[in-house]
A = this chain, B = another copy of it.
Amino acid sequence: MAADIVGVGLIGLGTIGTGVAKVLQRNAAVIEQRLGFPLRLVRVADLDTETDRGVDLAGVRFDSDAEGLIADPAVHIVVELIGGTGAARQLSLRAIEAGKPLVTANKALLADHGGEIFGAAARRGVDVGFEASVAGGIPILRSIREGLVANRIESLHGILNGTSNYVLTEMEKTGEPQEAVVVRAQELGYAEADPSLDLDGGDAAHKLTLLAAMAYGAELTGKEIPTEGIRGLDPVDFEAAREFGFRIKLLGIAKAHVDASGGLRLEARVHPTLIPTQSLLANVDGAMNAVAVTGDAVGPTLFYGAGAGEQPTASAVVADLVEIARALRGGGAGRVAPLSYRPETLAPVPLLPLSEIHGRAYLRFTARDRAGVLAHISGVLGEHGIGIESVIQKGRAGHEGSVPVLVITHRADEASLRAACERIDALDDVTAPTRLVRIEEEL
Protein backbone atom coordinates (compact mmCIF):
# COMPACT_ATOMS: atom_id res chain seq x y z
CA MET A 1 0.00 0.00 0.00
CA ALA A 2 1.35 3.40 -0.97
CA ALA A 3 2.55 5.40 1.99
CA ASP A 4 0.44 8.42 1.09
CA ILE A 5 -2.92 6.64 1.26
CA VAL A 6 -5.14 7.56 4.18
CA GLY A 7 -6.93 4.40 5.28
CA VAL A 8 -10.50 4.39 6.57
CA GLY A 9 -11.84 1.72 8.91
CA LEU A 10 -15.61 1.41 9.04
CA ILE A 11 -17.40 -0.10 12.04
CA GLY A 12 -21.01 -0.89 11.18
CA LEU A 13 -22.10 -1.83 7.66
CA GLY A 14 -25.77 -0.89 7.92
CA THR A 15 -27.54 1.59 5.67
CA ILE A 16 -25.23 4.54 6.33
CA GLY A 17 -22.09 2.40 6.42
CA THR A 18 -22.97 0.90 3.07
CA GLY A 19 -23.54 4.42 1.74
CA VAL A 20 -20.11 5.52 2.95
CA ALA A 21 -18.46 2.53 1.27
CA LYS A 22 -20.30 3.29 -1.98
CA VAL A 23 -19.43 7.00 -2.01
CA LEU A 24 -15.76 6.34 -1.20
CA GLN A 25 -15.60 3.91 -4.11
CA ARG A 26 -17.80 5.70 -6.66
CA ASN A 27 -16.15 9.09 -6.15
CA ALA A 28 -12.64 7.87 -5.32
CA ALA A 29 -11.07 9.66 -8.29
CA VAL A 30 -12.70 13.03 -7.71
CA ILE A 31 -12.00 12.88 -3.96
CA GLU A 32 -8.36 12.03 -4.62
CA GLN A 33 -8.13 14.91 -7.07
CA ARG A 34 -9.59 17.34 -4.52
CA LEU A 35 -7.52 15.99 -1.65
CA GLY A 36 -4.24 15.42 -3.44
CA PHE A 37 -3.88 11.85 -2.18
CA PRO A 38 -6.10 8.74 -2.00
CA LEU A 39 -8.65 8.25 0.77
CA ARG A 40 -9.43 4.54 0.80
CA LEU A 41 -11.72 2.19 2.69
CA VAL A 42 -9.31 -0.48 3.93
CA ARG A 43 -11.25 -2.36 6.57
CA VAL A 44 -14.87 -2.98 7.65
CA ALA A 45 -16.20 -4.58 10.83
CA ASP A 46 -19.76 -5.75 11.29
CA LEU A 47 -21.29 -8.63 13.26
CA ASP A 48 -23.14 -9.63 10.10
CA THR A 49 -20.56 -10.55 7.49
CA GLU A 50 -23.00 -12.54 5.36
CA THR A 51 -25.71 -10.22 4.05
CA ASP A 52 -25.06 -8.83 0.58
CA ARG A 53 -25.25 -5.02 0.79
CA GLY A 54 -24.72 -4.47 -2.93
CA VAL A 55 -21.29 -2.95 -2.41
CA ASP A 56 -18.05 -4.37 -3.75
CA LEU A 57 -15.62 -4.96 -0.88
CA ALA A 58 -12.88 -6.61 -2.95
CA GLY A 59 -9.54 -5.66 -1.42
CA VAL A 60 -11.21 -4.49 1.80
CA ARG A 61 -10.68 -6.62 4.91
CA PHE A 62 -14.17 -7.42 6.25
CA ASP A 63 -14.77 -9.32 9.47
CA SER A 64 -16.51 -8.88 12.81
CA ASP A 65 -13.42 -7.74 14.70
CA ALA A 66 -14.00 -4.07 15.59
CA GLU A 67 -11.16 -4.04 18.12
CA GLY A 68 -8.81 -5.45 15.52
CA LEU A 69 -9.93 -2.77 13.08
CA ILE A 70 -9.13 -0.01 15.59
CA ALA A 71 -5.68 -1.51 16.24
CA ASP A 72 -4.91 -2.08 12.54
CA PRO A 73 -2.04 0.23 11.48
CA ALA A 74 -3.56 0.48 7.99
CA VAL A 75 -6.60 2.22 9.54
CA HIS A 76 -5.87 5.92 10.07
CA ILE A 77 -9.42 7.10 10.72
CA VAL A 78 -12.22 5.14 12.41
CA VAL A 79 -15.85 5.61 11.34
CA GLU A 80 -18.42 4.52 13.94
CA LEU A 81 -21.81 3.82 12.40
CA ILE A 82 -23.30 1.12 14.62
CA GLY A 83 -25.56 3.52 16.53
CA GLY A 84 -26.77 3.29 20.09
CA THR A 85 -24.84 4.29 23.18
CA GLY A 86 -23.47 0.92 24.32
CA ALA A 87 -20.87 -0.68 22.07
CA ALA A 88 -20.72 2.53 20.05
CA ARG A 89 -19.54 4.44 23.12
CA GLN A 90 -16.94 1.87 24.05
CA LEU A 91 -15.54 1.51 20.55
CA SER A 92 -15.46 5.27 20.03
CA LEU A 93 -13.48 5.75 23.24
CA ARG A 94 -11.21 2.87 22.27
CA ALA A 95 -10.46 4.48 18.90
CA ILE A 96 -9.68 7.80 20.57
CA GLU A 97 -7.42 6.11 23.12
CA ALA A 98 -5.61 4.45 20.22
CA GLY A 99 -4.97 7.91 18.83
CA LYS A 100 -7.24 7.40 15.83
CA PRO A 101 -9.49 10.24 14.71
CA LEU A 102 -13.17 9.35 14.87
CA VAL A 103 -16.06 10.14 12.53
CA THR A 104 -19.57 9.40 13.72
CA ALA A 105 -23.20 10.05 12.79
CA ASN A 106 -24.35 9.06 16.27
CA LYS A 107 -26.29 12.02 17.69
CA ALA A 108 -27.63 10.10 20.68
CA LEU A 109 -24.10 9.14 21.70
CA LEU A 110 -22.79 12.69 21.39
CA ALA A 111 -25.84 14.31 22.97
CA ASP A 112 -25.73 12.04 26.01
CA HIS A 113 -21.98 11.30 26.29
CA GLY A 114 -20.46 14.24 24.40
CA GLY A 115 -18.53 15.43 27.45
CA GLU A 116 -16.82 12.08 27.80
CA ILE A 117 -16.10 11.55 24.10
CA PHE A 118 -14.92 15.08 23.38
CA GLY A 119 -12.96 15.26 26.62
CA ALA A 120 -11.09 12.09 25.74
CA ALA A 121 -10.45 13.38 22.21
CA ALA A 122 -9.13 16.70 23.50
CA ARG A 123 -6.77 14.97 25.95
CA ARG A 124 -5.51 12.61 23.27
CA GLY A 125 -5.35 15.37 20.66
CA VAL A 126 -7.40 13.57 18.01
CA ASP A 127 -10.19 14.88 15.83
CA VAL A 128 -13.85 13.94 16.11
CA GLY A 129 -16.01 14.60 13.06
CA PHE A 130 -19.77 14.53 13.52
CA GLU A 131 -21.29 16.56 10.67
CA ALA A 132 -23.54 13.62 9.79
CA SER A 133 -25.12 13.62 13.23
CA VAL A 134 -27.12 16.80 12.57
CA ALA A 135 -29.35 17.35 9.54
CA GLY A 136 -27.84 14.55 7.44
CA GLY A 137 -26.18 15.84 4.32
CA ILE A 138 -26.53 19.56 5.12
CA PRO A 139 -23.09 20.93 6.02
CA ILE A 140 -24.56 22.87 8.92
CA LEU A 141 -22.01 22.27 11.69
CA ARG A 142 -19.20 23.14 9.29
CA SER A 143 -21.06 26.27 8.15
CA ILE A 144 -21.54 27.51 11.71
CA ARG A 145 -17.94 26.67 12.63
CA GLU A 146 -16.24 28.01 9.50
CA GLY A 147 -18.56 29.92 7.19
CA LEU A 148 -20.18 31.98 9.97
CA VAL A 149 -17.13 32.08 12.26
CA ALA A 150 -17.12 35.90 12.20
CA ASN A 151 -20.59 36.03 13.77
CA ARG A 152 -22.17 35.92 17.14
CA ILE A 153 -25.03 33.53 16.48
CA GLU A 154 -28.26 35.21 17.55
CA SER A 155 -30.66 32.37 16.81
CA LEU A 156 -31.05 28.92 15.28
CA HIS A 157 -34.35 27.48 14.05
CA GLY A 158 -34.15 23.97 12.67
CA ILE A 159 -36.40 21.42 11.05
CA LEU A 160 -34.20 18.63 12.34
CA ASN A 161 -36.36 15.54 12.12
CA GLY A 162 -37.44 14.33 8.70
CA THR A 163 -39.98 11.82 9.99
CA SER A 164 -42.04 14.35 11.91
CA ASN A 165 -41.75 16.88 9.09
CA TYR A 166 -43.08 14.26 6.70
CA VAL A 167 -45.99 13.52 9.06
CA LEU A 168 -46.80 17.23 9.50
CA THR A 169 -46.62 17.86 5.74
CA GLU A 170 -48.92 14.93 4.99
CA MET A 171 -51.42 15.81 7.74
CA GLU A 172 -51.66 19.32 6.33
CA LYS A 173 -51.98 18.14 2.75
CA THR A 174 -54.50 15.36 3.29
CA GLY A 175 -56.39 16.43 6.42
CA GLU A 176 -55.90 12.89 7.74
CA PRO A 177 -55.39 12.16 11.44
CA GLN A 178 -51.83 11.61 12.62
CA GLU A 179 -52.17 7.88 13.24
CA ALA A 180 -53.06 7.16 9.61
CA VAL A 181 -50.20 9.26 8.32
CA VAL A 182 -47.70 7.59 10.65
CA VAL A 183 -48.73 4.16 9.40
CA ARG A 184 -48.16 5.30 5.83
CA ALA A 185 -44.79 6.79 6.80
CA GLN A 186 -43.83 3.44 8.31
CA GLU A 187 -44.84 1.64 5.13
CA LEU A 188 -42.73 4.05 3.06
CA GLY A 189 -39.73 3.65 5.35
CA TYR A 190 -39.90 7.25 6.61
CA ALA A 191 -40.77 6.18 10.15
CA GLU A 192 -39.46 3.41 12.37
CA ALA A 193 -41.59 0.68 13.91
CA ASP A 194 -41.36 2.63 17.17
CA PRO A 195 -41.49 6.24 16.02
CA SER A 196 -41.33 7.73 19.53
CA LEU A 197 -37.86 9.28 19.28
CA ASP A 198 -38.98 11.11 16.14
CA LEU A 199 -42.55 12.06 17.00
CA ASP A 200 -41.87 13.00 20.63
CA GLY A 201 -39.04 15.36 19.71
CA GLY A 202 -36.18 13.45 21.35
CA ASP A 203 -34.20 13.10 18.13
CA ALA A 204 -34.57 16.83 17.39
CA ALA A 205 -33.45 17.63 20.95
CA HIS A 206 -30.30 15.54 20.47
CA LYS A 207 -29.48 17.47 17.33
CA LEU A 208 -30.28 20.83 18.92
CA THR A 209 -27.80 19.95 21.66
CA LEU A 210 -25.05 19.60 19.07
CA LEU A 211 -26.06 22.76 17.21
CA ALA A 212 -26.09 24.75 20.46
CA ALA A 213 -22.68 23.36 21.35
CA MET A 214 -21.27 24.39 17.98
CA ALA A 215 -22.89 27.83 17.94
CA TYR A 216 -22.55 28.79 21.61
CA GLY A 217 -19.99 26.41 23.09
CA ALA A 218 -22.84 25.27 25.33
CA GLU A 219 -22.45 21.99 27.17
CA LEU A 220 -25.97 20.59 27.20
CA THR A 221 -27.58 17.19 27.10
CA GLY A 222 -30.75 16.40 25.22
CA LYS A 223 -32.54 15.81 28.51
CA GLU A 224 -32.09 19.43 29.61
CA ILE A 225 -33.93 20.81 26.59
CA PRO A 226 -37.68 21.41 27.08
CA THR A 227 -39.09 19.08 24.46
CA GLU A 228 -42.57 18.58 23.11
CA GLY A 229 -43.38 16.37 20.13
CA ILE A 230 -46.04 16.48 17.46
CA ARG A 231 -48.48 14.00 18.98
CA GLY A 232 -51.84 15.50 19.78
CA LEU A 233 -51.84 17.81 16.79
CA ASP A 234 -55.15 17.54 15.01
CA PRO A 235 -56.04 18.17 11.35
CA VAL A 236 -58.07 21.18 12.52
CA ASP A 237 -54.85 22.78 13.78
CA PHE A 238 -53.32 22.79 10.30
CA GLU A 239 -56.48 24.21 8.75
CA ALA A 240 -56.67 26.97 11.37
CA ALA A 241 -52.95 27.73 11.15
CA ARG A 242 -53.26 28.16 7.40
CA GLU A 243 -56.22 30.52 7.83
CA PHE A 244 -54.24 32.55 10.34
CA GLY A 245 -51.30 32.74 7.90
CA PHE A 246 -49.06 30.06 9.39
CA ARG A 247 -47.80 26.54 8.90
CA ILE A 248 -46.89 24.12 11.68
CA LYS A 249 -43.36 22.75 11.91
CA LEU A 250 -41.52 20.87 14.63
CA LEU A 251 -38.62 23.19 15.36
CA GLY A 252 -35.49 23.00 17.44
CA ILE A 253 -34.88 26.57 18.58
CA ALA A 254 -31.86 28.12 20.28
CA LYS A 255 -31.42 31.82 20.99
CA ALA A 256 -28.78 33.80 22.79
CA HIS A 257 -29.94 36.19 25.50
CA VAL A 258 -27.10 38.49 26.44
CA ASP A 259 -27.61 40.74 29.47
CA ALA A 260 -26.13 44.20 29.97
CA SER A 261 -22.97 42.81 31.54
CA GLY A 262 -22.41 40.41 28.64
CA GLY A 263 -23.67 37.31 30.46
CA LEU A 264 -25.19 34.67 28.19
CA ARG A 265 -28.40 32.76 28.89
CA LEU A 266 -29.51 30.28 26.28
CA GLU A 267 -33.08 29.72 25.18
CA ALA A 268 -33.30 26.15 23.87
CA ARG A 269 -36.48 24.24 23.12
CA VAL A 270 -38.08 21.72 20.78
CA HIS A 271 -41.78 21.90 20.00
CA PRO A 272 -44.33 22.27 17.22
CA THR A 273 -44.35 25.90 16.12
CA LEU A 274 -46.52 28.13 13.99
CA ILE A 275 -44.33 30.00 11.51
CA PRO A 276 -45.40 32.50 8.84
CA THR A 277 -46.51 30.80 5.62
CA GLN A 278 -44.24 32.95 3.45
CA SER A 279 -41.06 32.10 5.38
CA LEU A 280 -38.65 29.73 3.64
CA LEU A 281 -38.67 27.38 6.62
CA ALA A 282 -42.44 27.02 6.32
CA ASN A 283 -41.93 25.73 2.79
CA VAL A 284 -39.57 22.91 3.75
CA ASP A 285 -41.75 19.88 3.13
CA GLY A 286 -41.69 16.14 3.39
CA ALA A 287 -38.69 14.42 4.92
CA MET A 288 -36.34 17.35 4.20
CA ASN A 289 -34.42 19.28 6.87
CA ALA A 290 -33.40 22.92 7.09
CA VAL A 291 -31.69 25.14 9.62
CA ALA A 292 -32.17 28.91 9.70
CA VAL A 293 -29.24 30.65 11.38
CA THR A 294 -29.13 34.37 12.18
CA GLY A 295 -25.75 35.92 12.88
CA ASP A 296 -25.01 39.45 14.01
CA ALA A 297 -23.07 40.21 10.84
CA VAL A 298 -24.50 37.90 8.19
CA GLY A 299 -28.15 38.38 9.19
CA PRO A 300 -30.61 35.60 8.30
CA THR A 301 -29.34 32.51 6.48
CA LEU A 302 -30.84 29.12 5.73
CA PHE A 303 -29.30 25.74 4.96
CA TYR A 304 -31.51 23.08 3.36
CA GLY A 305 -31.13 19.45 2.34
CA ALA A 306 -31.90 15.81 3.07
CA GLY A 307 -31.74 15.14 6.80
CA ALA A 308 -31.37 11.40 6.53
CA GLY A 309 -30.89 8.58 4.07
CA GLU A 310 -27.98 6.44 2.96
CA GLN A 311 -26.36 8.73 0.40
CA PRO A 312 -26.94 12.18 1.99
CA THR A 313 -25.66 11.00 5.37
CA ALA A 314 -22.68 9.34 3.67
CA SER A 315 -21.95 12.68 1.97
CA ALA A 316 -21.49 14.26 5.41
CA VAL A 317 -19.43 11.37 6.79
CA VAL A 318 -17.07 11.51 3.82
CA ALA A 319 -16.75 15.31 4.12
CA ASP A 320 -15.48 14.76 7.68
CA LEU A 321 -13.12 12.04 6.45
CA VAL A 322 -11.68 14.40 3.84
CA GLU A 323 -11.19 17.19 6.38
CA ILE A 324 -9.51 14.90 8.88
CA ALA A 325 -7.40 13.20 6.21
CA ARG A 326 -6.18 16.60 5.04
CA ALA A 327 -5.33 17.56 8.61
CA LEU A 328 -3.47 14.26 9.13
CA ARG A 329 -1.40 14.75 5.98
CA GLY A 330 -0.87 18.46 6.64
CA GLY A 331 0.24 17.83 10.19
CA GLY A 332 -2.76 19.74 11.50
CA ALA A 333 -4.44 16.92 13.38
CA GLY A 334 -6.49 18.11 16.31
CA ARG A 335 -7.62 21.20 14.41
CA VAL A 336 -11.14 19.85 13.84
CA ALA A 337 -12.21 21.11 17.18
CA PRO A 338 -14.49 18.76 19.08
CA LEU A 339 -17.94 20.33 19.34
CA SER A 340 -16.89 23.91 19.85
CA TYR A 341 -14.08 25.72 18.17
CA ARG A 342 -11.81 24.80 21.03
CA PRO A 343 -12.80 22.02 23.41
CA GLU A 344 -11.79 23.95 26.50
CA THR A 345 -14.39 26.61 25.73
CA LEU A 346 -17.27 24.13 25.92
CA ALA A 347 -18.98 25.06 29.16
CA PRO A 348 -22.36 24.90 30.85
CA VAL A 349 -24.58 27.84 29.89
CA PRO A 350 -27.60 28.79 31.99
CA LEU A 351 -30.87 28.03 30.23
CA LEU A 352 -33.68 30.54 30.07
CA PRO A 353 -36.70 28.96 31.78
CA LEU A 354 -39.55 28.23 29.38
CA SER A 355 -41.84 30.30 31.63
CA GLU A 356 -39.92 33.44 30.64
CA ILE A 357 -40.49 33.00 26.94
CA HIS A 358 -42.60 35.77 25.49
CA GLY A 359 -44.57 35.64 22.26
CA ARG A 360 -47.83 35.07 20.49
CA ALA A 361 -49.47 31.67 20.80
CA TYR A 362 -52.04 29.52 19.08
CA LEU A 363 -54.59 27.95 21.43
CA ARG A 364 -57.06 25.24 20.54
CA PHE A 365 -59.83 25.11 23.12
CA THR A 366 -62.39 22.33 23.01
CA ALA A 367 -65.67 23.50 24.43
CA ARG A 368 -69.39 22.76 24.37
CA ASP A 369 -71.10 24.63 21.54
CA ARG A 370 -73.01 26.91 23.86
CA ALA A 371 -73.59 30.67 24.03
CA GLY A 372 -71.18 32.53 26.25
CA VAL A 373 -68.35 30.00 26.12
CA LEU A 374 -66.06 32.22 24.07
CA ALA A 375 -66.81 35.15 26.39
CA HIS A 376 -65.90 32.99 29.33
CA ILE A 377 -62.63 31.84 27.81
CA SER A 378 -61.63 35.31 26.69
CA GLY A 379 -62.49 36.60 30.15
CA VAL A 380 -60.04 34.22 31.77
CA LEU A 381 -57.38 35.09 29.20
CA GLY A 382 -57.99 38.79 29.90
CA GLU A 383 -57.57 38.28 33.63
CA HIS A 384 -54.11 36.91 32.86
CA GLY A 385 -53.28 39.87 30.68
CA ILE A 386 -53.63 37.91 27.43
CA GLY A 387 -55.35 39.63 24.53
CA ILE A 388 -56.98 37.80 21.64
CA GLU A 389 -55.81 38.75 18.17
CA SER A 390 -57.95 36.41 16.03
CA VAL A 391 -60.54 33.70 16.60
CA ILE A 392 -61.95 30.97 14.43
CA GLN A 393 -65.03 29.23 15.77
CA LYS A 394 -66.74 26.83 13.44
CA GLY A 395 -69.86 24.90 14.28
CA ARG A 396 -68.90 21.35 13.47
CA ALA A 397 -69.67 17.88 14.77
CA GLY A 398 -67.12 17.19 17.48
CA HIS A 399 -66.96 14.55 20.13
CA GLU A 400 -69.64 14.96 22.79
CA GLY A 401 -71.10 17.97 20.98
CA SER A 402 -67.91 19.95 21.50
CA VAL A 403 -66.36 22.36 19.02
CA PRO A 404 -62.84 23.62 18.64
CA VAL A 405 -62.28 27.30 19.38
CA LEU A 406 -59.08 28.42 17.72
CA VAL A 407 -57.33 31.52 18.95
CA ILE A 408 -54.22 33.52 18.17
CA THR A 409 -53.22 35.57 21.20
CA HIS A 410 -51.33 38.82 21.38
CA ARG A 411 -47.84 38.59 22.82
CA ALA A 412 -47.84 37.13 26.31
CA ASP A 413 -45.42 35.33 28.55
CA GLU A 414 -45.55 31.58 28.72
CA ALA A 415 -46.23 31.49 32.48
CA SER A 416 -49.42 33.53 32.04
CA LEU A 417 -50.51 31.40 29.09
CA ARG A 418 -50.00 28.21 31.06
CA ALA A 419 -51.88 29.58 34.08
CA ALA A 420 -54.79 30.77 31.95
CA CYS A 421 -55.04 27.44 30.11
CA GLU A 422 -55.08 25.58 33.40
CA ARG A 423 -58.01 27.66 34.64
CA ILE A 424 -59.81 27.36 31.32
CA ASP A 425 -59.38 23.59 31.27
CA ALA A 426 -61.19 23.47 34.62
CA LEU A 427 -64.27 25.21 33.20
CA ASP A 428 -67.42 23.08 32.98
CA ASP A 429 -67.93 23.77 29.30
CA VAL A 430 -64.39 22.89 28.35
CA THR A 431 -64.32 19.21 27.48
CA ALA A 432 -60.70 18.50 26.56
CA PRO A 433 -57.30 19.92 27.51
CA THR A 434 -56.33 23.04 25.63
CA ARG A 435 -53.55 22.68 23.07
CA LEU A 436 -50.98 25.46 23.03
CA VAL A 437 -48.66 25.89 20.06
CA ARG A 438 -46.07 28.66 20.19
CA ILE A 439 -45.57 31.12 17.36
CA GLU A 440 -42.21 32.24 16.00
CA GLU A 441 -42.56 35.55 14.20
CA GLU A 442 -39.11 36.46 13.06
CA LEU A 443 -38.70 33.77 10.42
Q: Which A positions have Cβ atoms within 8 angstroms of B?
A: 19, 23, 26-27, 30-31, 33-36, 131, 137-139, 142-143, 145-152, 217, 278, 280, 283-284, 290, 295-306, 309, 311-312, 314-319, 321-323, 326, 330-332, 335, 341-342, 345
B145, B315, B332: the one within 8 Å of A297 (CB): B315
* Complexed CA–CA distance, A136 and B91 (Å): 42
A301 in contact with B305 (CB, 8 Å):
yes
A27 in contact with B296 (CB, 8 Å):
yes
Tell me the nearest residue of chain B to A137, going by C-beta: B298
Within the complex, what minimum Cβ distance (angstroms) separates A247 from chain B?
12
Given contacts A299-B312, A312-B297, contact A304 B319 (CB under 8 A): no
Within the complex, what minimum Cβ distance (angstroms) separates A284 from chain B?
7
How many identical subunits does the complex contain?
2
Sample of 14 A–B contacts (CB below 8 Å): A23-B297, A27-B150, A34-B145, A142-B143, A142-B147, A147-B319, A149-B318, A149-B322, A280-B280, A280-B283, A296-B311, A297-B311, A298-B312, A299-B306
Contacts of A300 in B (CB 8 A): 304-306
B145, B148, B301, B315: the one within 8 Å of A298 (CB): B315
B298 in contact with A311 (CB, 8 Å):
yes
Tell me the nearest residue of chain B to A311, going by C-beta: B297
A149 in contact with B31 (CB, 8 Å):
yes
Tell me the nearest residue of chain B to A278, going by C-beta: B283
From A139, A290, A298, name the one whose CB has the most chain B CB atoms within 10 angstroms: A298
Within the complex, what minimum Cβ distance (angstroms) separates A38 from chain B?
14
A139 in contact with B143 (CB, 8 Å):
yes
Contacts of A148 in B (CB 8 A): 139, 315, 319
A297 in contact with B147 (CB, 8 Å):
no
A284 in contact with B295 (CB, 8 Å):
no
Tell me the nearest residue of chain B to A150, going by C-beta: B318
* Complexed CA–CA distance, A276 and B309 (Å): 25
B33, B146, B296, B330: the one within 8 Å of A323 (CB): B146
B149, B302, B314, B330: the one within 8 Å of A302 (CB): B302
B138, B145, B297: the one within 8 Å of A301 (CB): B138
* Complexed CA–CA distance, A23 and B296 (Å): 9
Given contacts A280-B283, A283-B278, A311-B297, contact A34 B303 (CB under 8 A): no
The 3 A-B pairs of least Cβ separation, nearest first, read: A139-B147, A150-B318, A34-B341
* Complexed CA–CA distance, A335 and B327 (Å): 10
B146 in contact with A142 (CB, 8 Å):
yes
Tell me the nearest residue of chain B to A341, going by C-beta: B34
* Complexed CA–CA distance, A300 and B284 (Å): 12
Within the complex, what minimum Cβ distance (angstroms) separates A28 from chain B?
11
Tell me the nearest residue of chain B to A300, going by C-beta: B305
B295 in contact with A152 (CB, 8 Å):
no
* Complexed CA–CA distance, A30 and B153 (Å): 11
Given contacts A283-B283, A314-B297, contact A146 B146 (CB under 8 A): yes
B342 in contact with A34 (CB, 8 Å):
yes
* Complexed CA–CA distance, A303 and B145 (Å): 16
